[in-house]
């Protein structure tokens, strides 16, 4: 078999060389270790010690921390955290870690080292299975956290070093799925840390964040990813009104607005936020929704962006859409999606839709649609179907965004 995977590490696309894949319990390159690991990461394989799932070749490994490392190293069995050390060589210091190595707390936990996040080696990106029911996680560990583990290199690792030349946050490729094509997920070639989408004048636009900068890609330009020079320390939201595109980002706990008719100049709206940002428009007015102290706040462009507490509680995610002169806000509380409407005094009603992760919403032909991620799959629920949550078959490990054009719904995942 030939192996040629793309691994997105800290702003660089790391390509596993197209070479013969390893055999079980055989020699393996660092790039292939990461490519094999990414097979689970990209599919958000949930932690469950009672289940096993396949690697790229279909060989099954236990769905827990040590099973994940065993799969990545292409071991002959799903080793335990007590036996994994027998397959590795202990390193004398954390500074010797290279991509594809392991951090082990024998009898307790194991994780895969992906790369240092800076030249001083004070933090690193690791992949691991850690929480029951939650998929493979890409996390940032400080050196202090890493110091609680023993570093090991696989005894049979060979070949390339798979270094991370530009450390940073793990980025993932954006896929587009359309309701008109049975939700078939097509790669856009765009990668980023966050994603937002809009449509305007028959064109779809995708906004991603890369190394603190917002990039724009358009469907009528082969998804060529162009820097807007807009800065962002986290999320991104977007909307189009009267032929103008507006992008909202968060910097230093404040929401900034940048407009396509103003050379994307990033202006501080003065809206504070401690979490995500969402936006919609109605009647020519832009509405920005933020989270502060577990409450959703609304700020309107026709009210000098005055931030008003809607009283809607949320544990994190927030999505918004508007239809028929009504604004709808969707939040997650206790693993359930709640809907609050502006024409019902923002009364928060449980939709019954399950969700613990990302959230997106859009409207089409008089129907509201909510998209959630559960077990690495995107689910769609419609207001005209009693919010029944249906599996779209779309894979997603982190972000989800949704928009509509010409009666077709488009979902963007990472």
pLDDT digits (tens, 9 = 90+) for 315-342: 878 999 999 999 999 998 888 999 999 9
Question: Please, which pLDDT band fits residue 152 given cuts at 50, 70 and 90?
Answer: very high
- pLDDT tier for residue 120 given thresholds of 50, 70 and 90: confident
Whole-number mean pLDDT of the chain? 87
Which residues, other chains included, contact 74 with Cβ-Cβ below 8 Å and sequence gap of 6+?
22, 23, 24, 25, 26, 28, 32, 33, 36, 55
To 10 degrees, the CA torsion angle through 391, 393, 395, 400? -50
The sign one gets for the Cα dihedral 314, 316, 319, 320 is positive
Split at pLDDT 50, 70, 90, the class of 169 is very low
Structure tokens at 401: 């965004």
> What is the CATH number assigned to the segment(s) 172-413?
2.120.10.70
- pLDDT confidence bin for 214, thresholds 50/70/90: very high
pLDDT given for residue 276 in this prediction? 84
- How do residues 259-292 score in pLDDT, each as one tens digit? 999 999 999 999 998 878 999 999 999 999 999 8
Task: Give the DSSP letter of residue 235.
Answer: -
Per DSSP, the three-state class of 354 is strand
- Output the 3-class SS for 186-210: EEEEEEECCEEEEEECCEEEEEEEE
């Amino acid at each position: 078999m030939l192996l040629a995977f793309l691994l997105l590490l800290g702003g660089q696309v790391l390509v596993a060389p197209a070479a013969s894949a390893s055999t079980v319990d055989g020699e393996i390159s660092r790039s292939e270790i990461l490519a094999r690991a990414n097979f689970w990461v990209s599919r958000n394989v949930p932690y469950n010690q009672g289940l096993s799932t396949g690697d790229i070749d279909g060989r099954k490994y236990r769905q827990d921390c040590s099973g994940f490392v065993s799969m990545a190293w292409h071991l002959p069995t799903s080793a335990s955290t007590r036996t994994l050390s027998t397959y590795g060589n202990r390193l004398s210091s954390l500074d010797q870690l290279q991509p594809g190595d392991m951090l082990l707390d024998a009898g307790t936990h194991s994780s895969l080292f992906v790369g240092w996040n800076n030249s001083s080696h004070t933090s690193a990106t690791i992949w691991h299975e850690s929480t029951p029911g939650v998929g493979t996680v890409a996390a940032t560990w400080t050196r202090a956290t890493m110091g609680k583990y023993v570093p090991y290199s696989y005894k049979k690792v060979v070949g390339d070093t798979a270094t991370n030349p530009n450390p940073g946050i793990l980025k993932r490729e954006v896929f587009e799925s359309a309701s008109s094509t049975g939700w078939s997920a097509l790669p856009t070639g765009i990668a980023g840390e966050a994603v937002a989408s809009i449509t305007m004048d028959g064109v779809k636009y995708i906004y991603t964040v890369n190394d603190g900068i917002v990039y724009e890609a358009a469907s009528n330009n082969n998804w060529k990813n162009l820097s807007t020079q807009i800065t962002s320390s986290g999320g991104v939201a977007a909307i189009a009104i009267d032929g103008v595109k507006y992008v909202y980002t968060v910097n230093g706990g404040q929401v900034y607005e940048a407009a396509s008719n103003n050379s994307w100049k990033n202006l501080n709206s003065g809206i504070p936020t401690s979490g995500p940002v969402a936006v919609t428009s109605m009647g020519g007015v832009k509405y920005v929704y933020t989270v502060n102290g577990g409450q959703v706040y609304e700020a309107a462009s026709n009210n000098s962006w005055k931030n008003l507490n809607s009283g809607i509680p949320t544990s994190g995610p927030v999505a918004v859409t508007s239809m028929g002169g009504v604004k709808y806000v969707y939040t997650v509380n206790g693993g359930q999606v709640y809907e609050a409407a502006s024409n019902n005094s923002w009364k928060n009603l449980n939709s019954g839709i399950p969700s613990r992760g990302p959230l997106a919403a859009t409207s089409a032909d008089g129907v509201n649609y909510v998209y959630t991620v559960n077990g690495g799959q995107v689910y769609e629920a419609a207001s005209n179907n009693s919010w029944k949550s249906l599996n779209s078959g779309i894979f997603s490990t982190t972000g989800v965004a949704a928009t509509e054009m010409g009666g077709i719904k488009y979902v963007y995942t990472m």
